[in-house]
Amino acid sequence: MRYTEERLQQILRRFAGYLSQEEVLGSPAPSGNLWDDIIRLEKELQDFILEAYEYQENTFHSHPVYYIDYFEMRSDQCHVLHNLHYEVKKIRYIPKQARVVAEYMLYLADYVVERNVPSAQMEKLEGIFRDMKKEELPKSREEFENRAILYHILMDMEEFLVYKQRFVRSLDERQKKLYWKEMD
Protein backbone atom coordinates (compact mmCIF):
# COMPACT_ATOMS: atom_id res chain seq x y z
CA MET A 1 0.00 0.00 0.00
CA ARG A 2 2.79 2.43 0.89
CA TYR A 3 4.64 1.54 -2.31
CA THR A 4 1.53 2.37 -4.36
CA GLU A 5 1.07 5.68 -2.57
CA GLU A 6 4.71 6.63 -3.13
CA ARG A 7 4.47 5.81 -6.83
CA LEU A 8 1.28 7.86 -7.25
CA GLN A 9 2.92 10.76 -5.39
CA GLN A 10 5.97 10.58 -7.66
CA ILE A 11 3.82 10.56 -10.79
CA LEU A 12 1.82 13.59 -9.60
CA ARG A 13 5.06 15.43 -8.80
CA ARG A 14 6.45 14.67 -12.23
CA PHE A 15 3.28 16.00 -13.88
CA ALA A 16 3.67 19.13 -11.77
CA GLY A 17 7.28 19.44 -12.86
CA TYR A 18 6.27 19.24 -16.47
CA LEU A 19 3.51 21.84 -16.09
CA SER A 20 5.82 24.22 -14.24
CA GLN A 21 8.64 23.37 -16.66
CA GLU A 22 10.88 22.31 -13.79
CA GLU A 23 12.37 19.17 -12.39
CA VAL A 24 10.66 18.50 -9.09
CA LEU A 25 12.76 17.50 -6.12
CA GLY A 26 11.79 14.29 -4.38
CA SER A 27 10.28 12.70 -7.47
CA PRO A 28 12.87 10.48 -9.07
CA ALA A 29 12.08 9.04 -12.47
CA PRO A 30 12.52 5.30 -11.94
CA SER A 31 12.40 4.48 -15.63
CA GLY A 32 12.92 7.96 -16.96
CA ASN A 33 9.65 7.77 -18.89
CA LEU A 34 6.47 8.90 -17.17
CA TRP A 35 4.26 6.95 -19.58
CA ASP A 36 6.13 3.70 -18.80
CA ASP A 37 5.91 4.41 -15.07
CA ILE A 38 2.13 4.84 -15.24
CA ILE A 39 1.68 1.65 -17.26
CA ARG A 40 3.99 -0.27 -14.90
CA LEU A 41 2.00 0.92 -11.88
CA GLU A 42 -1.28 -0.04 -13.56
CA LYS A 43 0.05 -3.58 -14.08
CA GLU A 44 1.37 -3.76 -10.53
CA LEU A 45 -2.01 -2.63 -9.19
CA GLN A 46 -3.72 -5.44 -11.07
CA ASP A 47 -1.32 -7.87 -9.38
CA PHE A 48 -2.02 -6.26 -5.99
CA ILE A 49 -5.77 -6.65 -6.57
CA LEU A 50 -5.29 -10.34 -7.37
CA GLU A 51 -3.20 -10.73 -4.20
CA ALA A 52 -5.95 -9.02 -2.19
CA TYR A 53 -8.53 -11.45 -3.57
CA GLU A 54 -6.21 -14.32 -2.70
CA TYR A 55 -5.82 -12.93 0.80
CA GLN A 56 -9.61 -12.68 1.11
CA GLU A 57 -10.03 -16.31 0.14
CA ASN A 58 -7.35 -17.50 2.57
CA THR A 59 -8.14 -15.60 5.73
CA PHE A 60 -10.63 -15.57 8.54
CA HIS A 61 -10.00 -11.85 8.95
CA SER A 62 -13.25 -9.95 9.33
CA HIS A 63 -12.67 -7.32 6.60
CA PRO A 64 -10.40 -8.67 3.87
CA VAL A 65 -12.46 -6.81 1.27
CA TYR A 66 -10.83 -3.59 2.56
CA TYR A 67 -7.65 -4.38 0.66
CA ILE A 68 -9.52 -5.23 -2.53
CA ASP A 69 -11.45 -1.97 -2.36
CA TYR A 70 -8.29 -0.02 -1.55
CA PHE A 71 -6.31 -1.33 -4.50
CA GLU A 72 -9.26 -1.00 -6.87
CA MET A 73 -9.59 2.65 -5.82
CA ARG A 74 -5.87 3.19 -6.44
CA SER A 75 -6.20 1.45 -9.81
CA ASP A 76 -9.04 3.80 -10.75
CA GLN A 77 -6.87 6.75 -9.71
CA CYS A 78 -4.00 5.41 -11.79
CA HIS A 79 -6.34 5.25 -14.82
CA VAL A 80 -7.12 8.93 -14.23
CA LEU A 81 -3.38 9.67 -14.33
CA HIS A 82 -3.10 7.57 -17.49
CA ASN A 83 -5.75 9.77 -19.12
CA LEU A 84 -4.13 12.87 -17.67
CA HIS A 85 -0.93 11.97 -19.48
CA TYR A 86 -2.80 12.21 -22.79
CA GLU A 87 -4.08 15.65 -21.82
CA VAL A 88 -0.69 16.97 -20.75
CA LYS A 89 0.90 15.80 -24.02
CA LYS A 90 -1.61 17.95 -25.97
CA ILE A 91 -0.40 21.22 -24.46
CA ARG A 92 1.50 23.20 -27.13
CA TYR A 93 2.81 25.86 -24.81
CA ILE A 94 2.49 26.20 -21.08
CA PRO A 95 0.11 29.04 -20.13
CA LYS A 96 0.74 31.01 -16.92
CA GLN A 97 -2.22 29.25 -15.25
CA ALA A 98 -0.27 25.99 -15.45
CA ARG A 99 1.76 27.06 -12.42
CA VAL A 100 -1.40 27.02 -10.27
CA VAL A 101 -2.28 23.54 -11.55
CA ALA A 102 1.28 22.35 -10.92
CA GLU A 103 1.25 23.76 -7.38
CA TYR A 104 -2.04 22.01 -6.73
CA MET A 105 -0.59 18.70 -7.94
CA LEU A 106 2.39 19.12 -5.62
CA TYR A 107 0.02 19.91 -2.76
CA LEU A 108 -2.21 16.94 -3.60
CA ALA A 109 0.70 14.50 -3.81
CA ASP A 110 1.30 14.86 -0.07
CA TYR A 111 -2.27 13.69 0.59
CA VAL A 112 -2.13 10.50 -1.46
CA VAL A 113 -2.09 8.39 1.69
CA GLU A 114 -4.38 5.70 3.02
CA ARG A 115 -5.91 7.61 5.93
CA ASN A 116 -6.79 10.86 4.20
CA VAL A 117 -10.34 12.06 3.74
CA PRO A 118 -9.92 14.43 0.75
CA SER A 119 -12.36 17.14 1.87
CA ALA A 120 -9.73 19.88 2.17
CA GLN A 121 -8.20 18.90 -1.18
CA MET A 122 -11.64 19.15 -2.84
CA GLU A 123 -12.25 22.57 -1.28
CA LYS A 124 -8.90 23.84 -2.51
CA LEU A 125 -9.68 22.50 -6.00
CA GLU A 126 -13.07 24.23 -5.99
CA GLY A 127 -11.27 27.46 -5.12
CA ILE A 128 -8.96 27.02 -8.10
CA PHE A 129 -12.00 26.49 -10.38
CA ARG A 130 -13.56 29.70 -8.99
CA ASP A 131 -10.35 31.65 -9.49
CA MET A 132 -9.99 30.40 -13.06
CA LYS A 133 -13.46 31.72 -13.88
CA LYS A 134 -12.27 35.19 -12.83
CA GLU A 135 -9.29 35.09 -15.20
CA GLU A 136 -9.22 37.28 -18.26
CA LEU A 137 -10.43 35.44 -21.37
CA PRO A 138 -7.79 33.96 -23.69
CA LYS A 139 -6.56 36.26 -26.45
CA SER A 140 -5.78 33.60 -29.06
CA ARG A 141 -7.10 30.25 -30.17
CA GLU A 142 -3.89 28.55 -29.02
CA GLU A 143 -4.15 30.10 -25.55
CA PHE A 144 -7.81 29.05 -25.40
CA GLU A 145 -7.01 25.45 -26.33
CA ASN A 146 -4.15 25.17 -23.84
CA ARG A 147 -6.17 26.69 -21.01
CA ALA A 148 -9.04 24.35 -21.88
CA ILE A 149 -6.65 21.43 -21.49
CA LEU A 150 -5.57 22.80 -18.09
CA TYR A 151 -9.22 23.02 -17.07
CA HIS A 152 -9.70 19.41 -18.15
CA ILE A 153 -6.63 18.42 -16.12
CA LEU A 154 -8.27 19.97 -13.06
CA MET A 155 -11.43 18.00 -13.81
CA ASP A 156 -9.27 14.87 -13.91
CA MET A 157 -7.84 15.83 -10.51
CA GLU A 158 -11.40 16.14 -9.24
CA GLU A 159 -12.17 12.64 -10.53
CA PHE A 160 -8.98 11.39 -8.85
CA LEU A 161 -10.31 12.74 -5.53
CA VAL A 162 -13.83 11.44 -6.09
CA TYR A 163 -12.49 7.88 -6.24
CA LYS A 164 -10.89 8.39 -2.83
CA GLN A 165 -14.07 9.97 -1.43
CA ARG A 166 -16.12 6.96 -2.57
CA PHE A 167 -13.64 4.60 -0.95
CA VAL A 168 -13.80 6.50 2.35
CA ARG A 169 -17.62 6.62 2.26
CA SER A 170 -17.77 2.88 1.64
CA LEU A 171 -15.96 2.12 4.90
CA ASP A 172 -18.16 1.00 7.76
CA GLU A 173 -17.45 1.88 11.39
CA ARG A 174 -15.68 -1.40 12.11
CA GLN A 175 -13.34 -0.92 9.15
CA LYS A 176 -12.57 2.65 10.22
CA LYS A 177 -11.72 1.46 13.74
CA LEU A 178 -9.62 -1.43 12.46
CA TYR A 179 -7.72 0.37 9.69
CA TRP A 180 -8.01 4.07 10.53
CA LYS A 181 -7.38 4.01 14.28
CA GLU A 182 -6.35 7.64 14.53
CA MET A 183 -9.66 8.72 12.92
CA ASP A 184 -11.53 7.80 16.12
CB neighbourhood size of 60 (10 A): 5
In percent, the amount of the chain with pLDDT more than 70 equals: 89
- What is the C-alpha separation between 74 and 167, in angstroms, rounded? 10
Burial of 76 (0-12, 13-18, 19+ CB in 10 A): middle
* Alpha carbon of residue 43 to chain centroid: 17
DSSP 8-state symbol, 23: P
- What is the C-alpha separation between 99 and 76, in angstroms, rounded? 26
Neighbouring residues of 85: CB distance < 8 A, sequence distance ≥ 6: 15, 34, 35, 38
Confidence of residue 139 (pLDDT cuts 50, 70, 90): very high
Domain architecture of the chain: domains with CATH: 2-183 (1.20.120.940)
pTM of the predicted structure, to 2 decimals = 0.87
Please say if the pLDDT value at position 31 is more than 50: no
Tens digit of each residue's pLDDT (9 = 90 or more) over 144-179: 999 999 999 999 999 999 999 999 999 988 888 888
